[in-house]
Chain A
Amino acid sequence: MNQENQCPPQTNPFKPEPARIVRTYYLTEDVKFFQVRIADMEKALSFRYKPGQFAMISVLGAGEAPFSISSTPSRPGLLEFCIRKAGVVTDALFRLKENHLIGIRGPYGNGFPIQNMKNHNVLIIMGGIGAAPLRSVLLNCLDNRDQFQKVTLLHGAKRPAEMIFRDEFFDIKDREDLECHLSVDQDDTGEWSENIGVVTTLFPKMEKIDPQQTYALVCGPPVMYKFVLQELLKLKIPRDQILMTLERRMKCGVGKCGHCAIDYIYTCLDGPVFTYWDVLHMRELI
């Protein structure tokens, strides 16, 4: 065969970079935390991303799937993910121990509009696995605290044991520069010191904010959106300042495989972060 044909291209966006699992532990019964370092040191340090972007993770023998980056770009070198067991790829990931190699490529997607959010209030509302992308924004805001006005976190879970990043959020909840409200639907431990009730019961507890000066970021299970959006509209936050992420099937992350299409849009290129205004105008949304 002709040698010339075999020379690989300069860059291959589909090529996973080997990365090592540095740390992994359970956050809840079915969600695990993964701290990962790209094996090639230079590549590890030059991996630049924005909160809200995602990476494709591959496990040899199982396949590849998209996951939000949970760490913050303000702490380079290590990438963190928070992954729920859901099927073939995630099952295989859960079986891997520290020091194992996985493949990683990215970052992909638009991410949150951090530049526009500067000098505004940032209201973060998370539920379930929605904590994955929003933890990145939260940590980024706290690391660059002077760039933002008021930062508020509302976090809901069914039970205390199901609250993702519970320990971490308890550690920061009393910070002066953060307003943090945690809630569980039911307390089956009898030891829960915070609010009890669905996440929307946290809204009346929030200090008043100027809605025009606020970006609200919502990520959580489908049921959560409906009620949280109503509250945000009541607060008069403009619809194009309400941000959310959409989940679609993704096989490439770079706009080629077609799976993530919604109408005109490729979620992997034009999303996964959309404003509520964008979402209202998508015909295919259920």
Chain B
Amino acid sequence: MRIVKLKQKNLNPFLEVISENTELWAPVRKYTDRHVFAQVEDVSQIDVDYTRTILPPRKIFLPPSFNMFTATEKEYKENFSHATKKILFGIHPCDIHGLLIMDQFFNYVFEDPYYTQARNNTLLLGHSCWPDEHCFCKSTRTHIIEEGYDLFFHRLSEDYLVWIGSSKGDDLIRLMPDCFEEKLSDEDIQFYIRLREQRNEAFQTEVNFTAMPDLMELKYNHPLWEKIGTACLACGSCTNVCPTCNCYNVMDHPQLKERGSLIHRDWDTCTLQSYSEVAGGENFREKRSDRLKLWYTHKIQAYISKYGKPGCVGCGRCIATCPVDINVKTVSQALDGKDVDAFWNRLNKGEIK
């Protein structure tokens, strides 16, 4: 691994140069205090002082709705127009971990070319971050990242320490070799180490998943599920914001003029009633509690047994998003036997009418 140094003031000029022929995607501010990943035309739009974006970066690789095929009776013509060459700048460690989990999932048994093409065409330029009250990536050990990026920018006071993670990342550096210093001073290194320690101590939320596979099994019929089931609005926000949710639906949209169809692939949500319905209207998960169980089985039990780690990277999005406080933190604490302070719990106790 090679680490070089970049003056903070040189970041924007560097991003301009490397994105000359490539789409640049980065965090930008939206609605005063929120952030989203968006394609930027002008590097001054970029705002690296963000904690989490509304939607996770997977929206860049598999957009919420895109066309898979333009079909006629004779041929289903593939469409990969979403998989353009991109540079994604400003992604945090937890979200890179989220993509590494998606990489495993979308290559399991069958390769999903819609995902992998977009992924192969995108360079990841990570950026360091600071936890807020909802972040718990230290508990899931996804607060640091050792692989999966092309470049990673650690912000110090006036400089960036830049980790070069791939030969493609190295090629980018070579586009502006004069901006990067090979030699790091002892102060830089000490500063970085201190910052790292301070960041480790800044986490306010801890979630322990170690016992979850067992607890999910032991408490499968626990009244807790009915409680969260009654409170859930089936709005689907939790699945849309989670960086490791993969479910989708496919729809055939007939195009009357061309005598063909557009085959669209749209994000889907397991918390919706129609999710498991089969022909004839039979539904294996009629109740909200059953559908939430599926979500939690998936995140904190199935992934652990299949890939050795949970399908949660501690980004805190579900905590910040669910209107009734159903999230990995409150659910795993409740599974652990704690009386959690959450809207759904107060609702069930009759404290909210």
Contact = CB atoms under 8 A, between A and B. Distances in A.
Given A15-B69, A60-B72, A258-B248, A5 B121 contact: yes
Point out which of A2, A14, A63, A248 has the most chain B C-beta atoms below 10 A from its C-beta.
Answer: A14
B275 interface: yes
B83 A5 contact: yes
Interface string A248-260: 1101101111110
Contacts of A62: 252
A222 B84 CA distance: 48
A247 B110 CA distance: 21
A137 B211 CA distance: 43
B279 A284 contact: no
Contact of A63 (B250, B294, B298): B250
A27 to B, nearest CB: 18
A31 to B, nearest CB: 13
B172 interface: no
Nearest to A65: B279
B84 A61 contact: no
Point out which of A13, A65, A256 has the most chain B C-beta atoms below 10 A from its C-beta.
Answer: A256
Interface string B181-206: 00000000000000000000000000
B44 interface: no
B78 A8 contact: yes
B63 interface: no
Interface in A220-274: 247-249, 251-252, 254-259, 261-264, 269
A256 B110 contact: yes
Contacts of A258: 246-248, 268, 270
Interface stretch (B131-139, B300-308, B345-353): B300-308
Nearest to B248: A257
Contacts of B284: 248, 262, 284, 286
B76 A254 contact: no
Contacts of B208: none
B250 A251 contact: yes
B294 A261 contact: yes
B248 A1 contact: no
Contact of B76 (A15, A248, A263): A15
A63 B68 CA distance: 13
A247 B247 contact: no
Interface in B199-229: 220
A86 B279 CA distance: 6
A26 to B, nearest CB: 19
Of the four ranges (under 10, 10 to 19, 20 to 34, 35 or more), the interface on chain A belongs to 35 or more
A190 interface: no
A18 interface: yes
B297 A63 contact: no
B106 A61 contact: no
B130 interface: no
A12 B113 contact: yes
Contacts of A101: 73-74
Contacts of A2: 84-85
Nearest to B286: A286
B113 A63 contact: no
B110 A254 contact: yes
A256 B265 CA distance: 12
A280 to B, nearest CB: 15
A259 B248 CA distance: 8
Contact of B109 (A254, A257, A262): A254
Interface in A3-20: 4-6, 8-9, 11-16, 18
B124 to A, nearest CB: 17
A72 interface: no
Contact of B108 (A8, A249, A255): A255
A257 B68 CA distance: 14
B252 A61 contact: yes
Interface string A57-91: 01011111100000000000000000000110010
A257 B76 CA distance: 19
Contacts of B75: 18
A283 interface: yes
A223 to B, nearest CB: 13
Interface in B304-343: 305-306
Contact of A1 (B76, B81, B108, B278): B81
Contacts of B12: none
Contacts of B302: 263-264
B19 interface: no
Interface string B268-283: 1010000111111000
Interface string B244-276: 001111111010000011000000101000011
A60 B106 contact: no
A255 B109 contact: yes
Contact of B301 (A16, A254, A264): A264
25 contacts: A1-B84, A4-B85, A6-B81, A14-B113, A18-B75, A65-B279, A103-B71, A103-B76, A251-B250, A252-B248, A254-B109, A254-B110, A255-B110, A256-B106, A256-B246, A259-B275, A259-B276, A261-B270, A262-B284, A264-B297, A269-B109, A283-B220, A284-B284, A284-B293, A286-B284
Interface of A: 1-2, 4-6, 8-9, 11-16, 18, 58, 60-65, 86-87, 90, 101, 103, 247-249, 251-252, 254-259, 261-264, 269, 283-284, 286
Interface of B: 68-69, 71-76, 78, 80-81, 83-85, 105-106, 108-114, 116-117, 121, 220, 246-252, 254, 260-261, 268, 270, 275-280, 284-285, 290, 293-294, 297-298, 301-302, 305-306
Question: What 3 A-B pairs have minimum CB-CB distances, sorted nearest first?
Answer: A258-B247, A9-B113, A86-B279
Given A255-B110, A259-B276, 12 more contacts: A8-B80, A11-B113, A14-B114, A60-B252, A61-B252, A64-B250, A86-B280, A101-B73, A248-B284, A251-B249, A255-B109, A264-B302
